[in-house]
Structure 1
Amino acid sequence: MRKLAFIFIAFLLLASCDNGDAPDPTPPAPVEPTGVITLTSPVQNSICITGTVLSANQSAVELKWDKFANATSYTVTIKDLLNNTVTNFTTDQNQYTANLNRNTPYSWSVTAQASVSPKTAKSESWKFYNAGSGITSYAPFPADNLSPNRDQVVTTVAGKTTLTWTGSDADNDILNYDIYLGTTTTLTLLKREVIETKLENVELISKASYYWKVVTRDKNGNTSESVVIPFTVK
């Protein structure tokens, strides 16, 4: 009887030590950046006069945004709106100082990345004018073509569509817009001095490819051109 009890106890001890079939603990889910990053400076559609002048042509501008939960790095995207050159910078801080051309409009945005996740969070895209010496009136920012957007296939109604865009100006003195349209990148003037940010009843040919752009004019005669946007008609 004593021998049987000993064998039974030994079996229990062996069973309690054998955890080979026990499931591995579930690793914690990676912490991902979620939501929208809030930009703070330079503010939207502003004239930036707080930069450090480096030369007659350049100044150092500090870009700032709110810290973002769980972010381990940020990618700052800056676009020169005169030549559409895009530059990306990476930082682990919620600010970045960029050397930029003076008297030049820019757009900028920020993307947050967590090291343990492929997902990202992004900010809106803001615009500002990097001030130049002796400049008292700034050209409008290039318009943003909304519809048709790039490579969109447009469905017309009775052979017509509506072009829409947005305009902005650091001086807040936009006067009107000229709209250009063509079947090649050599565009022709479609409508001059449009007051609204849309142009209705634009006639298009089915199955054709088109390009369009917007020229923005302010009250001082300054102008800017949007990018040329291609689209096709269904």
Structure 2
Amino acid sequence: MKRLFIGISMLVLLVSCGGGDDGPSIPEAAELVFPDENSECTTGVSVSENLSQVTFRWMASANTSSYTLNVVNLETNVPQTISTAATSASLSIAKGTPFAWSVSSTNNQSDQVVSSETWLFYNAGSQTTYAPFPAQAVSPISGSTVLKDIANEVTLEWLGADVEGDIVSFEVFFSDQNPPTTSLGEVETATTEFNVSVTSGITYYWKIITTDEEGNTSDSGVFEFKVN
């Protein structure tokens, strides 16, 4: 009887201790649905001469109690955000303007915030042709400190996109002065990286001018990095 009592006690202890070490569930990234990536959004409801209300949608993500919609005007870099427990939210945004949008997932039981992919789109306006989306820096990350390679070079890498898919060139500007005014030349659309010579201890600035077949251009804005 004594051995039975000890066995039962140990079993109760194991059960009571088990399952408590997993910690809170980490939210998963939401999958974006609409507006489509690299598209023209024509479903906005006009609210004024310059604004239309667009409804953003995404798929529900696991272990998520709330979402934060992040929408950035790519011409001004001004963000708009809204939090919701739903899988859609509406914002009034500028017509005829490029935007980037993403969704952050959070869980009441966890401090971790997980972000979705970032998609680009144009909110429809009166124009019939659109400039390319401003190029997005991939590497180096703006504000970062990087190491040069054995040839004393760093590779600039970016992403380019266009609603009509008619980008013809990227022009690379690079300098240790802000803003960079020295053009290193144009590269074809199949190329989205460029090697530059650098010196340790110097902060460098770069940007990309994207041009399409209609002659429309977009300015990426200035990115910067320091060489260690």
TM interval, shorter chain, is 0.7 to 0.9
Quick one: which of 208, 218, 228 aligns to 2:202?
208
| More displaced 10-residue stretch of structure 1: 41-50 or 68-77 | 68-77
Quick one: which of 98, 111, 119 aligns to 2:112?
119
Bigger Cα Rg:
1
* Offset of residue 136 of structure 1: 1.0
Q: Partner of 1:143 in structure 2?
A: 135
Letter in 1 for 2:78: T
CA distance in 2, matches of 1:194, 1:161: 17
Letter in 2 for 1:149: I
CA distance in 2, matches of 1:225, 1:158: 29
Q: Partner of 1:8 in structure 2?
A: none
Q: How many residue pairs end up in the alignment?
A: 212
* Offset of residue 31 of structure 1: 5.1
* Offset of residue 167 of structure 1: 0.4
Q: 4+ residue stretches of structure 1 with deviation over 6 A?
A: none
Q: Partner of 1:42 in structure 2?
A: 35
Contact map agreement 1:31 1:70 (CA 8 A) in 2: no
Contact map agreement 2:209 2:218 (CA 8 A) in 1: yes
Contact map agreement 1:178 1:214 (CA 8 A) in 2: yes
Residue ranges of structure 2 left out of the alignment (5+ in a row) = 1-11
Q: Partner of 1:221 in structure 2?
A: 215
CA distance in 1, matches of 2:62, 2:201: 48
Contact map agreement 1:178 1:189 (CA 8 A) in 2: no
Equivalent positions of 1:32-71 (< 5 A) are 32-71=25-64
Q: Partner of 2:226 in structure 1?
A: 232
Letter in 2 for 1:198: E
CA distance in 1, matches of 2:119, 2:205: 25
Q: Partner of 1:82 in structure 2?
A: 75
Q: Structure 1 length as normaliser, TM-score? A: 0.83
* Offset of residue 116 of structure 1: 2.1
Equivalent positions of 1:191-202 (< 5 A) are 191-195=184-188, 196-200=191-195, 202=196
* Offset of residue 209 of structure 1: 1.4
Contact map agreement 2:27 2:64 (CA 8 A) in 1: no
Contact map agreement 1:32 1:119 (CA 8 A) in 2: no
Residue ranges of structure 1 left out of the alignment (5+ in a row) = 1-21
* Offset of residue 33 of structure 1: 4.1
Letter in 2 for 1:232: K
Identity %: 35
Specify which structure has the higher proportion of strand. Answer: 1
